């Protein structure tokens, strides 16, 4: 079936995007990413540990840009300026790579996005030629503005980052999807496979997750579960579910030809 996720003109077979944080080691990161089937994986940009064993392996040796579409993020940034600087560094680090994940956080407890700073950063980044996938609140008006600014994917939260609370407001996700043309990817809040399936059944174009896999008791097994859930949810969306009815006057088996009663 030719059902591709298209972001900024490039098509992807997998609609599951995964993060690479919180794993116990690179081997587990690699195994989980592999099991997830994800083609787009997020990475963070951080200060090099000056003076500390420069020969330790690097993430990009385990997850090479030749095999995956790397999506550098701005996690931990609380201002537009810090986010823009971080992504300029990422572009230099990845040899001119322009597809990025913008997130500007509002407070360290909730990790809820600061949309005023996010919009300011998006304007600058788009003007500088970045292809911006943007983490956002599930506000449909803001989502539309981000698309109008030139963002290539809108990524609303389903619940707070790292919370695993699932899809708290499917109605707002619906409003967002109805108002933007670019892909809508649920980013944050997925806790288990059914959450991912629900997001896809709603019609989301993809799901991005990290903690739901990394913090599972068996991350590699969960990565595989998420792959299936995203595929199942997408197929269910495309298939078109039956309407919900409180009860049905139409049983699944024929009503004619039932054997006769022996009671008189």
Bridge-based pairing of strands 185-187 and 10-12 is unpaired
C-alpha span between 194 and 191 (Å, rounded): 8
Positions in 46-75 near another protein (CB under 8 A): 46-48, 50-51, 54, 58-60, 70, 72-73, 75
Nearest distance from C-beta of residue 198 to another protein, angstroms: 20
| Residue span binding another protein (CB under 8 A) among the ranges 117-125, 208-216, 233-241, 246-254 | 208-216
If binding is defined by CB under 8 A, does position 161 make contact with another protein?
yes
Residue 101 is a catalytic residue: yes
Q: Is 164 in the site for another protein (CB under 8 A)?
A: no
CB of 247 to another protein, least distance (A): 43
Is residue 90 a contact point for another protein (CB under 8 A)?
yes
Residues 6+ apart with CB under 8 A from 146: 118, 119, 122, 134, 136, 154
By the rule CB under 8 A, 42 interacts with another protein? yes
77 vs 82: CA distance, rounded Å: 6
Q: Do the beta carbons of residue 92 and residue 128 sit within 8 Å?
A: no
Please give the Cα distance from 16 to 40 (Å, whole number). Answer: 8
Task: Match 């695993």 to its residue by tokens.
Answer: 164
Q: Minimum Å distance from CB 240 to another protein?
A: 32
- Is 215 a residue that touches another protein (CB under 8 A)? no
Q: Which of 8, 21, 34, 144 binds another protein (CB under 8 A)?
A: 21
Q: What's the Cα-to-Cα distance from 193 to each of 37, 48, 198, 226, rounded to whole Å?
A: 14, 35, 9, 5
If binding is defined by CB under 8 A, does position 136 make contact with another protein?
no
Strands (E), 91-143: 99-102, 131-136
Among 138, 207, 211, 227, binds another protein (CB under 8 A): 211
Least spacing, CB of residue 152 vs another protein, in Å: 19
Provide CB contacts within 8 A for 110, sequence distance 6+: 160
Residues that bind another protein (CB under 8 A): 19-23, 29, 42-48, 50-51, 54, 58-60, 70, 72-73, 75, 85, 88-90, 92-94, 161-162, 209-211, 214
């Amino acid at each position: 079936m030719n059902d591709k996720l298209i972001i900024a003109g490039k098509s992807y077979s997998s609609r599951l995007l995964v993060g690479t944080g919180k794993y116990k080691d690179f081997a587990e990161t690699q195994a989980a990413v592999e099991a997830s089937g994800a083609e787009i994986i997020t990475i963070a940009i951080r200060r090099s540990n000056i003076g500390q064993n420069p020969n330790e392996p690097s993430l990009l040796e385990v997850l090479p840009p030749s095999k995956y579409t790397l999506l550098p993020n701005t996690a931990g940034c609380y201002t537009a300026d810090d986010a823009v600087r971080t992504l300029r560094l990422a572009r230099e680090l990845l040899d001119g790579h322009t597809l990025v994940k913008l997130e500007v956080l509002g407070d360290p407890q909730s990790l809820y996005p600061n949309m005023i700073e996010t919009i300011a950063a998006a304007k600058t980044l788009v003007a500088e030629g970045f292809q911006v996938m943007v983490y956002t609140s599930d506000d449909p008006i803001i989502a539309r503005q981000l698309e109008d600014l030139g963002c290539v994917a809108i990524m609303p939260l389903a619940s707070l980052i790292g919370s695993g609370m699932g899809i708290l407001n499917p109605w707002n996700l619906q409003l967002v999807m109805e108002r933007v043309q670019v892909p809508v990817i649920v980013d944050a809040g997925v806790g288990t496979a059914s959450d991912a399936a629900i997001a896809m059944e709603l019609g989301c174009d993809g799901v991005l997750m990290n903690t739901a896999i990394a913090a599972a008791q068996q991350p590699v097994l969960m990565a595989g579960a998420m792959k299936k859930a995203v595929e199942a949810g997408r197929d269910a969306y495309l298939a078109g579910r039956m309407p919900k009815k409180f009860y049905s006057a139409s049983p699944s088996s024929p009503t004619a030809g039932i054997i006769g009663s022996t009671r008189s």
